[in-house]
């Protein structure tokens, strides 16, 4: 991996020369590694843009942005575009529609921000090998299973050349590169988070209220996985808000409230996955904390499906 870093930095420095690169920073390990690699290669000629799309997790992104600002002298713009995305998502419940709306709105916002920078020739992205094979077919016969918003669209529209230093790597290799670069554990071990964010974990229509319920439930999941030491042992763990209500009982009264599904999986590269065999005491703690602490939820279920035939995300 040290030879990978050296080679990638050298190659990018040669490719870019004295031109400028714009990078979409998502807060995840992939784009963070790309930004740090490029910063090593070209310094201030790298311009990072972080777009808050209104469907981020609690503190998702902000922590990484703060870390980068503190430790690297890089150009970084934080764009608050929450309202713009949420207005477009209003009333939409189809998963591919949600993905497409977030994809093209992201492109619009990013395009405006990149144009405001002045002359830029390259776009850097944290695309990994699994994104490449699941999203486009030129490397093999895989059908489009879900539209990944981080591949396609942007470079053509903006007339930019692409730089994707991680496109031949799997996630475990990116983690090794991150460690080689000296990045902290909270970035290296951060679970993958999809481009369309919580929009594809609020099943059905996205409203502020439903996002709020999901964020609170998800925070419990993150907290309990970390406190128990399971966060690093699983590939991904998160909450999903279902589009139905169920009957429950509280004291002497009937309740009729939302259901949260827990999706916690083991995987090595996201191409296949299996549900994590968590200790029942941990599942019990997550369930009772969500039901007690998150207003509007009276039931928690555990997803015991593997990929394939299911996928990791529900939408």
Distances (CA, A) of 18 to 3, 77, 112, 120, 165: 24, 21, 23, 11, 18
- Note the Cα 281 to chain centre separation in Å: 28
Spell out, one character per residue from 291 to 310, where the chain touches ligand XMP: x when CB under 6 A holds, - when not.
----------------x---
Instruction: Find the binder of ligand XMP among 77, 146, 176, 285 (CB under 6 A).
Output: 146
| Residues 151-210, interacting with ligand XMP (CB under 6 A) | 192, 194-196
Q: Using the rule CB under 6 A, is 237 a contact of ligand XMP?
A: no
Distance CA 236, CA 258 (A): 23
Nearer to ligand XMP among residue 145 and residue 227 (C-beta): 145
Neighbours of 155 (CB within 10 A): 16
Nearer to ligand XMP among residue 27 and residue 194 (C-beta): 194
Nearer to ligand XMP among residue 184 and residue 192 (C-beta): 192
Q: Using the rule CB under 6 A, is 236 a contact of ligand XMP?
A: yes
Q: Which stretch binds ligand XMP (CB under 6 A): 6-14, 141-149, 213-221, 276-284?
A: 141-149
Q: Using the rule CB under 6 A, is 142 a contact of ligand XMP?
A: no
- Note the Cα 196 to chain centre separation in Å: 7
Neighbours of 133 (CB within 10 A): 15
Q: Is 55:197 a contact under the CB 8 Å cutoff?
A: yes
Instruction: Find the binder of ligand XMP among 39, 45, 47, 148 (CB under 6 A).
Output: 148
**Angle value at C-alpha 111, between 105 and 115, nearest 5 degrees:** 155
Which residues of the shown chain bind ligand XMP in the complex (CB under 6 A)? 99, 145-146, 148-150, 192, 194-196, 236, 270, 307, 311-313
């Amino acid at each position: 991996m040290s030879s990978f870093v050296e080679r990638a930095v050298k190659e990018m420095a040669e490719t870019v020369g004295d031109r400028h690169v714009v990078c979409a920073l998502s807060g995840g390990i992939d784009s963070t590694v790309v930004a740090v690699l490029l910063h090593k290669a070209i310094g201030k000629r790298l311009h990072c843009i972080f777009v808050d799309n209104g469907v981020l997790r609690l503190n998702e992104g902000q922590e990484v942005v703060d870390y980068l600002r503190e430790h690297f002298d890089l150009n970084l713009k934080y764009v608050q575009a929450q309202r713009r995305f949420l207005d477009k998502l209003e009333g939409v419940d189809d998963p591919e529609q949600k993905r497409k709306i977030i994809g093209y709105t992201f492109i619009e916002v990013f395009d405006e921000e990149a144009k405001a920078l002045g002359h830029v020739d390259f776009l850097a992205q944290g695309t990994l090998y699994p994104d490449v094979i699941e999203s486009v077919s030129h490397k093999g016969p895989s059908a489009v299973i879900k539209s990944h918003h981080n591949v396609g669209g942007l470079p053509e529209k903006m007339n930019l050349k692409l730089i994707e230093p991680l496109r031949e790597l799997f996630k475990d290799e990116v983690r090794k590169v991150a460690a080689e670069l000296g990045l902290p554990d909270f970035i290296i071990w951060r679970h993958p988070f999809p481009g369309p964010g919580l929009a594809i974990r609020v099943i059905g229509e996205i409203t502020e209220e439903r996002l709020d319920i999901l964020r609170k439930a998800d925070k419990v999941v993150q907290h309990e996985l970390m406190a128990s030491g399971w966060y690093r042992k699983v590939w991904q763990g998160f909450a999903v808000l279902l589009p139905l209500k169920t009957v429950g009982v509280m004291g002497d009264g009937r309740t009729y409230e939302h259901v949260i599904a827990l999706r916690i999986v083991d995987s090595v590269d996201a191409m296949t996955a299996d549900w994590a065999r968590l200790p029942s005491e941990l599942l019990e703690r997550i369930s009772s904390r969500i039901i007690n602490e998150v207003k509007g939820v009276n039931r928690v279920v555990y997803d015991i499906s593997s990929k394939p035939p299911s996928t990791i995300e529900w939408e």
